[in-house]
Amino acid sequence: MSDTTQEKLQLGILSKDVIKHIDHWCTKFPEEKKQSAIIPALRYAQDAAGGWLSEDLIKAVADYLDVPHIKAFEVATFYSMFDLEPVGKYKIAVCDNISCKLNGADKIVDHIKRRLGVNCGETTEDGRYILRTCECMAACTNAPMMQINDREYHENLTLEKVDEILDDIDKQEDGK
Ligand code: FES
């Protein structure tokens, strides 16, 4: 472990696990192109930090990759998958583009709003969910769809299916 790595672990900004993932991604690019690992590095850092990136965290990722802070800030502020303030642990994004809209996306959004008691862009009081709409996620043939936490796709949604998905999450969280 390098001195620099040790320093960051001591500062507690990047966890060992995050550093392990960043190191893994760095092996995929030439040494002088570490900047290419910024997106996965920020994603792991964000996940480990509870779903959002503080300025210190963005700087720590940039420092670890030996790139100027501005490069990491450019990425973090450009992509919608990054949040720069605390948000719900589960990020629900319902696609409301044409195929999904024609197949009932508005009803899905209204149903989730009612169930969670939030409007789009808001986090539930318990910090469990944030609800958003999003642009086409390339799942148009199985519209309507929603994504949870930038990874899980749920397609051919119905109100019942939405409830099952959210019930499962609630059970999992309440059982902790
Ligand atoms: S329009 Fe919703 S996934 Fe394409």
| Predicted local distance difference test score (pLDDT) of residue 12 | 67
Q: Give per-residue pLDDT as tens, 148-170.
A: 998 899 999 999 999 999 999 99
* CATH architecture designation of domain 90-174: 3-Layer(aba) Sandwich (3.40)
Domain ranges within the chain, ordered by starting residue: 3-78, 90-174
CA of 52 to the centre of ligand 1 (A): 25
Would the CB of 100 count as within 6 Å of ligand 1?
yes
Which residues, in sequence order, are CB contacts of 69 under 8 Å at separation 6+? 58, 59, 62, 63
104 lines ligand 1 (CB under 6 A): no
Cross-strand pairs, 91: 130
Q: How far is the CA of 49 from the centre of ligand 1 (A)?
A: 30
The domain over range 3-78 is classified in CATH as 1.10.10: yes
